[in-house]
Homo-oligomer: A and B are copies of this chain.
Amino acid sequence: MKKLTITETARFLAERDDFLIISHRRPDGDAIGSSAGLCCGLREMGKRAYLLPNPQITDKFVPYAEELYAPEGYEYGCLVSTDLADEGIIQLNAEDLCGKVELSIDHHPSNSGYAENTLVLPEKASCGEVVQLILKELPCGISKKTAEMLYFAVATDCGCFRYKNTTAETLRAAAELIDTGIPSGSMNKKLFMTKSKGRLLLEGQIISNMEFHMDGELVIAVVSDEMIAACGATEDDLDDVAVIAGQAEGVEVSMTLRQTESGWKASVRTVDYANANAICAQLGGGGHGMAAGCSMDCDVEEFKRLLLEAAKKVWKQA
Nearest residue, chain B, Cβ from A209: B204
Stretch at the interface among A86-94, A95-103, A132-140, A170-178: A170-178
Contact of A176 among B160, B168, B188 (CB under 8 A): B168
Given contacts A160-B162, A200-B247, A207-B204, contact A178 B171 (CB under 8 A): yes
Contact of A188 among B166, B169, B208 (CB under 8 A): B166
Tell me, yes or no, whether A239 is within 8 Å of chain B by CB: no
CA distance A171 to B179 in the complex (A): 11
Nearest residue, chain B, Cβ from A205: B208
CB distance from A131 to the nearest CB of B (A): 19
CB distance from A201 to the nearest CB of B (A): 6
Given contacts A203-B204, A207-B204, A208-B204, contact A248 B197 (CB under 8 A): yes
A185 touches B172 (CB 8 A): no
Nearest residue, chain B, Cβ from A196: B249
Q: What residues on B are CB-neighbors of A55 within 8 Å?
A: none
CB distance from A187 to the nearest CB of B (A): 10
Interface residues of A, dominant DSSP: helix
A163 touches B185 (CB 8 A): yes
Q: What residues on B are CB-neighbors of A122 within 8 Å?
A: none
Proximity bits, A191-213, B CB within 8 Å = 1, else 0: 01111110011011111101010
Proximity bits, A139-176, B CB within 8 Å = 1, else 0: 00000000000000000000011111111110110111
Q: What residues on B are CB-neighbors of A194 within 8 Å?
A: 247-249
Tell me, yes or no, whether A216 is within 8 Å of chain B by CB: yes
B172 touches A175 (CB 8 A): yes
Nearest residue, chain B, Cβ from A194: B249
Besides A160-B162, A168-B179, 20 other A-B contacts (C-beta < 8 A): A160-B160, A161-B161, A162-B188, A162-B189, A164-B186, A165-B185, A166-B185, A168-B175, A168-B176, A171-B172, A194-B249, A195-B249, A197-B249, A200-B247, A200-B248, A201-B207, A201-B208, A204-B207, A204-B208, A204-B210
5 closest A-B pairs by CB: A204-B207, A164-B185, A168-B175, A171-B175, A204-B208
